[in-house]
Structure 1
Amino acid sequence: MNRHQKFFAELEHTLDEEEYYDEEDYEEEYEEEYYNEEGEEYYDPEAAAAEARHAKVVNPHTCISPEVDADFELLDAMLPVLHQEWKEKAPRELPLMEIAAVEALRHAEYDVNSAVDYALERRLEGKKGQVKKALHVTGCASKHDESQRSNTEAATNDVSEAQGPSTLALGTSANAPKKSTKRAKGLEGLMPDASKPDCTFVIAGHVDSGKSTTLGHLLLLLGKVSMEDVSRNEQEAHGTNKESFKYAWLLDQSEEERRRGVTIDSGSQCFETAHRRVHILDAPGHKDYVLSMMSSATQADAALLVINASTSEFETGFAHGTRDHLLVLKTLGIGSIIVAVNKMDSVNYSKDRYNYIIQQLKLLFKELRIKESCIVGYCPVSGMSGVNLCELMPLQTPWYDGPCLIDLLDRCPLESRLLEAPLRLSLQDVQGSSLYAKVESGKLLKGDTLHFVPCDVKVAVRQIVKPTVGGVVQAAFAGEPVEISTNSNLVGLYPGCVGSLQGESACRAARRFEAHVQTFPTLQKAVIPGASFMMVAHALTVPVKVTLLVSKMKPSDGSWSKGMVKCVPAGAQAIVQLQAEQKVALENSEDCRALGRFILQQDGETVAGGLVKNVIVD
C-alpha cells in the first residue's frame, strides 16, 4: 500500500472515538449554531461580541513579528496597500512574496509607489532579485566520473498497488501519451543509477532544537565546507555573543536570520553517503514561518526530526512545534522519519534522559497514528560537539550501540518513483534565466520543450544541472531536484506552476477542485460553506474557500452521509469542494502524490489535510 492509500487508513481518527460527535449531539451543537429555522445562517450579536473580546490576536505575517521588528506596526499597515498597488502594476499572476515586499518597503523608506517599482524591477530582472535561499544549492558533491554525471539515479521497479477497481498501477497513467520516437531514442541508456539514488530530506523540529547547527557541523565533517568558513563565522559572531551560531551560520546567511538567530527561509544542501545522493532542506522551526516548513516538506521523500534534549526545552517543544511538524509530515505522506535527539551534551549524555525522550516520542507517534515501521531509527547526537554525527563516540555515549546519524541517512528506505508516468515538474523558483524545480514524475531530457500551467508559458530546456551530482546531466528522473537553463522568456512564471511536455497531456489547472479532507482537533470552528483557509500544496501557498460540503463520514460505522451536509466538525472526514482565488495546478492524488496532497491552515494553526479527488475544469 503506497502513501496516499495509507493516508486516511492510518490517520483516520486522531481523536478517541468518544471525542467524535454522534448525530444527535452534532445536530444540536452545530446545526443550531449556524442556521435558524428558515435554514439561513444564524447570527448572534452577543455571542459575536463575546467572541471578539476574547479572540486571540494572530500575527498574519510570515516574516515580521511585533516582538522583533520595531517597524512592525508601520509594515502591518503598509503591506496591504503595497499588495493592492502591486496587483494593479505587476504582470498578471506574478506574485509578490512577503519577504520581498518588506525589503522593498524598507528600501523605499515606506513609500509605496517607489517600493512597487523597486520590487517589480528586482522580480523581473531576476539577477538583481533577492535570491531565495530555499533553492540556492551549496556544498554539492564535487567531481564525479562521467557515467555518474550523465546518468544519475537507479531505476526502481514499478510497484502495482491496488487502491480500488479504478486505481492504476503505480508509475502508470490512463492518459499517458505515446512518446515520440526522437525523444525515446534520446532517452535510450539514460536511466537512474540503482547504486546511488537521490533522496530529499526535510529537517523538522521545534525552534532552537539545533537543526541548522547539526546540519552545518555535518557538512564540515563531510568536507563540504571548510574550517575557515566556521572560524570566520565565529569571529563575526564574537561581537554579538553568538559564537555558538558558528555552524548554523553556514546555512543561515542572511542578515535577518543572523540577527534573529532563527532560520526563516528553507536552505538546501547536498552531499553523498555510501548508497545515497542526499538533498537536504533545512526548514525553519519557528511557528511564524511554518508555511515555509510545509513548502519544504512537500518536496521531501523522508524527514530528519531533530529533538532538543535540554532540560525543559524538550517538554516545551514536545507540546508545540514537535507535534505540529509531525502532523504536517503525516498529512503529506512522509513515510520515513529519522529521529536525532540533539544537545545531549547539555544533559551530560544521560542515558536515562535519552530513554525518557524516546519513550515520550513513541507515545506521540502512537497518538498521531504514525506506525513504528515509519521510524527508521533514533540516534543521540550533539550538533555542537559533533558526537555521533559521522561516527559513534563511545566515550560520550557508551550505552548506545546503534548507527550514527550519517548511517541512518544512508539506509533510509525509498518508495518507488513514477518513472513511466507523464512528466510533471513542480516549479520552486525562477532566477534570471534559470528555473529551480523538482521532477515529480516522468523523465526530463535536454532539448525538451515544457508547457507550464496555469501561466501558459513555454520553456525550451537548454541545459539541466543536478545539484546532487554537482554538474550537467543529459536527463533527470522522477524524484530529482534540477536547475534548468533556458533562453526562453520567463515572464509570468512563478513558484507553484507545473510543467509538462509540450504536446502531451498537461497538468490540469482550475480554480475549483474536490477533495477528501480530514479535519484535526486544532480546528476551532466547524467547517461550513464559505469558510476560508490558507492551502499549502507543493510550491503553492494560496487562499481557498469551501464552496460545497458533498458528504461526511459517520464515525460510528465509517459510512458516508447522504443528502445535505451542513458542517464538518473537528476530527471528521468529509468530501468537500474548494475554490482558489486564481487557477492552481493540481493532480489527483492517485496519479501523483506530490501534486495531490495539501494542508489547510487557519489563523496560524494547521487544521486539516486532504487528498485531491477531482480537478474541476470549467
Structure 2
Amino acid sequence: FSWSLKTMGRGGNQDYDEDDYYDHEADDGDGTEYTEEENIAYYLPELKEKMKTKGVKKTEDELTEALVKANFDVAIAFKELTRAPPKPKPESAPKPKAKPKALGTLTKPAAPQAGSPSPPPKHKAPQTPMEPKTPLNFPPSTPKTPKGLMGMTFDPLPEQTFETLVDDDGKHRLSIVVVGHVDAGKSTIMGHILFTLGLISKKVMHKHEKESRQQGKASFHFAWLLDEQEEERARGVTIDVGVTYFETPHRRITLLDAPGHKDFVANMITGAAQADAAVLVVNSVKGEFEAGFVQGGQTKEHVVLLKSLGVKEVVVAVNKMDTVDYDQDRFNQIVEELTPYLKQTGFRDEDIRWCPVAGLAGENLDKAKDPKLTSWYQGPSLLDLIDSFQPAERLANYPMRLCISDVFKTQSLGTTIAGKMETGKVAAGDKVVMMPAGEIYTVKGIERQNEPVKEAAAGDNIELGLNGVSDPLSLSIGSVLCSFGAVPVKFATKFTAQMITFKSSRPITMGYNAVLHIHVLSVPCVISKLVALLDKNMEVEKKKPKCLPKDKSVSCLVEITTPKAICLELFTEFRNLGRFMLREEGETIAAGVVKDIPPPLPRD
C-alpha cells in the first residue's frame, strides 16, 4: 500500500452529509450466542487484571470456573473470588467439588462496564480478544459528562507551539523502541549495550551467565538483563515491554524493548505508541531473515505499526553478522530487499539508516573491531546512530496529557501510575483529572528514570504518585491524566475514522468485530457503519458500501463503536491520541485516524 499520515489527516470538502455518519441503526444483538471457549477468551483478561490489582492470587482454572459459574459477569466472579471463606462447621461434611460445566453455547452476557481496567502492557502480556463468529453489537450509548466535572469552566486551549526540550547539560530526552521478528536478537543487543556502557556490574553479569548456562540457554545472558520474568526466560522470548534507561553524549534515552512474537503484538504496539524513534532488528542468518520478512513474519507488520503510530526515524540493525562471517553481500542483499518496503510504508530515505552488528559478540555496538567487518564498513556504530536521532518536538505549552500504561504501588509514591507525558507539564502538588471517569487527584510525587524529580514535561516517561485515590480499581490502563481546570481530553463510545485496510481473511462488513489499539489502550470494537469508500485523493468515491474487500487495500470512512468510553482526540488537533490500528485473529487489518467525535451528553 502507499499512503501517508499527512494525506490521511487532510480535511477538504468531501461529498458526504453529517447524516451519513449516524443514520444506520445497530442490531440489538438479542439472541447472539457464543461458545463457552469464546466467552472465556473474551472476559478472562479483564478478570485477571482485577485480581492482580486486588493482590489476590488464583490459578487460571479457578478464574475460569468462577467466570462460568457467574455466567461471565466479571463483577460477580470477582466478588466471589475475593470473598472471605466462611468458617467451616465441624458437624457438616465437606461437599464434593462441583464439576465444571460442559462446553456449550451461551447467550452473550453484558459488555464490560465503563471504567473497568484494561489488560496491562507490563507483566504478563494480555492476549488479543478472540474474534467472535457473530457480531458483538454494542448497544448505542453516548457517555455523559462525568459528575466530577459538572459545572466546571475550563481555560481555553492555547495555540499549539512545538518545541524541543533540552536539559541543563544540553541533552535531549528521547524514547526509542526496539522491534523486530522473534529471535532477531533485540534483547541481547540492548542488554549488551547496557553492559558496555557500564550500567551492569560484572558481578550481575556473571550471575546471569551462570543461571543461563544452568537452564541450557548460555547465549541468553545479555537478554536476561531485560527479560526478567520466569516465563520470558523459560520460553526464550520477550513478552512484556521492558523499560530501561541509558545516556549517549547528546541524548537521554528511555529504552522500550518490545516483544517480537506474534502472540504479543499488542504489547509491541504499547511500546511503539510511546516511542519517538525505533531500532528495527533483523536477523542476517540465511533463512531467518526470510522467515521474518519474506515469509510473512513480524518484520513487515512491525514496520507498518511503527509508521502508523507516528515513528519518524528508524535504524535497521542487521544482527548476527558474525554467524555469516560478516559477509558484505549478505548485508547488501538485506538492505536491497527491505528498503523498498520501508519506503512504500512511508519512511523517507533520510529517515532510514543501516548498521551491521553482532549483538552477542558486541561487534559494532559502540565501535567496529573485527577486521572482517572493518574491511568494508567504516560507518557509525549502533550507539552513534542512536545518539544522532533527531530531537522530538513537544507540545509543552498544551495542557497535560498522560496516557496511563501501568498501575501499581511503591513504597515511595504509594498508589502509582506510569506512562508517557504526551503534552504539557506536571509538578508535585498539582491537581489532575483522570478521564474518562472524571476523578480528581493530587500529585504526591514524580519519579523519572528511577529518580525523584519536582516536575516533568512532555516527552518524559514517568511514574506519578497520586493522593485521593479511594478505589485503586478506578485507575485503568488507557485512561488519560489531564491538567485540572483546563479542557480535558475527549472521550466517546463511538467515533468516525478515516482508515486504510490491509489484506484480511474476510471482507469487512457492518458489524465486523476487531480489537482497537489507540495510544496504550487495547479494547474490543465493532465497525458499526461503513460511511464511504475514498479514492486516491481522499475524496468520496462511493457512499455506504456494503463491504470492504479482503484481497486489496482501500481507503474508507467508517464508524467505530466500543463497549465503554475511551479517551481519544481528533488527528487534526492532536496526532498522538488520534491514531489507531485494528487487529483481528493476530493480524493487523487496518490503520487510521480519528476524524469526528460526538460530544458527551449533559447530565440531567
Instruction: Give TM-score, length-normalised by structure 2.
Output: 0.74
CA displacement, residues 50-69 of structure 1 (integer Å, 9 cap, x when unaligned): xxxxxxxxxxxxxxxxxxxx
**How far did 1:373 drift?**
2.1
2:561 counterpart SS class: strand
- Aligned equivalents of 1:7, 1:269: Cα separation in 2: 35
Is 1:78–1:112's contact at 8 Å kept on the other side of the alignment?
A: no
1:580 paired to 2:562 = yes
**How far did 1:220 drift?**
0.3
Letter in 1 for 2:257: D
**How far did 1:274 drift?**
0.7
Is 2:534–2:540's contact at 8 Å kept on the other side of the alignment?
A: yes
Letter in 2 for 1:434: T
Tell me which residue corresponds to 1:67: none
Tell me which residue corresponds to 1:565: 545
**How far did 1:6 drift?**
2.8
Matches within 5 A, 1:219-298: 219-298=194-273
Tell me which residue corresponds to 1:551: 532
Please point out which of 199, 205, 210 is paired with 2:185. Answer: 210
CA displacement, residues 526-562 of structure 1 (integer Å, 9 cap, x when unaligned): 322111110111110001111222222124x653136
Tell me which residue corresponds to 1:593: 575
Tell me which residue corresponds to 2:304: 327
Is 1:523–1:608's contact at 8 Å kept on the other side of the alignment?
A: no
1:418 paired to 2:400 = no
Tell me which residue corresponds to 1:350: 327
Letter in 2 for 1:445: A
Please point out which of 464, 470, 475 is paired with 1:493. Answer: 475
Matches within 5 A, 1:425-464: 425-432=402-409, 433-464=415-446
Letter in 1 for 2:228: Q
Tell me which residue corresponds to 1:34: none
**How far did 1:230 drift?**
2.1
Is 2:428–2:446's contact at 8 Å kept on the other side of the alignment?
A: yes
Task: Give 1 or 2: higher strand fraction.
Answer: 2
Tell me which residue corresponds to 1:393: 369
- Aligned equivalents of 1:231, 1:76: Cα separation in 2: 46
Please point out which of 34, 51, 59 is paired with 1:105. Answer: 59
Please point out which of 581, 585, 592 is paired with 1:610. Answer: 592
- Aligned equivalents of 2:253, 2:368: Cα separation in 1: 21
Is 1:440–1:592's contact at 8 Å kept on the other side of the alignment?
A: no
- Aligned equivalents of 2:337, 2:80: Cα separation in 1: 50
Tell me which residue corresponds to 1:132: 122
Tell me which residue corresponds to 2:354: 378
1:542 counterpart SS class: strand
1:195 paired to 2:170 = yes
Is 1:533–1:544's contact at 8 Å kept on the other side of the alignment?
A: yes
**How far did 1:134 drift?**
9.5
- Aligned equivalents of 2:289, 2:457: Cα separation in 1: 39
Tell me which residue corresponds to 1:359: 336
Distance 1:110 1:540, change over 3 A: closer
Matches within 5 A, 1:2-17: 5-6=5-6, 8=8
CA displacement, residues 467-505 of structure 1 (integer Å, 9 cap, x when unaligned): 1xx422222111111111223214401110011111211
Letter in 1 for 2:122: K
Instruction: Give TM-score, length-normalised by structure 1.
Output: 0.73
Please point out which of 455, 464, 478 is paired with 1:475. Answer: 455
Distance 1:250 1:107, change over 3 A: farther
CA displacement, residues 402-433 of structure 1 (integer Å, 9 cap, x when unaligned): 11011100000133211112211111111121
Letter in 1 for 2:453: V
What is the RMSD computed on CA atoms of the aligned residues? 3.4
CA displacement, residues 201-233 of structure 1 (integer Å, 9 cap, x when unaligned): 111100000001111111000111122222212
- Aligned equivalents of 2:493, 2:342: Cα separation in 1: 36
- Aligned equivalents of 2:155, 2:548: Cα separation in 1: 33
**How far did 1:131 drift?**
10
- Aligned equivalents of 1:549, 1:131: Cα separation in 2: 31
Letter in 2 for 1:315: E
**How far did 1:591 drift?**
2.2
**How far did 1:9 drift?**
8.6
Instruction: Return 5+ residue gaps in structure 1 as ranges.
Output: 11-39, 42-73, 122-128, 136-172, 179-189
1:561 counterpart SS class: strand
Is 1:134–1:267's contact at 8 Å kept on the other side of the alignment?
A: no
Distance 1:174 1:487, change over 3 A: closer
Letter in 1 for 2:452: V
Tell me which residue corresponds to 1:484: 464
Tell me which residue corresponds to 1:138: none
Is 1:81–1:112's contact at 8 Å kept on the other side of the alignment?
A: no
Distance 1:76 1:583, change over 3 A: closer
1:234 counterpart SS class: helix
Is 1:177–1:504's contact at 8 Å kept on the other side of the alignment?
A: no
- Aligned equivalents of 1:282, 1:440: Cα separation in 2: 20
- Aligned equivalents of 2:81, 2:464: Cα separation in 1: 24
Letter in 1 for 2:218: E
Is 1:331–1:599's contact at 8 Å kept on the other side of the alignment?
A: yes
1:461 counterpart SS class: strand
- Aligned equivalents of 1:579, 1:213: Cα separation in 2: 41
Is 1:387–1:393's contact at 8 Å kept on the other side of the alignment?
A: yes
Letter in 2 for 1:382: A
Please point out which of 528, 533, 537 is paired with 2:509. Answer: 528
Tell me which residue corresponds to 1:35: none
Letter in 1 for 2:544: M
Is 2:533–2:543's contact at 8 Å kept on the other side of the alignment?
A: no
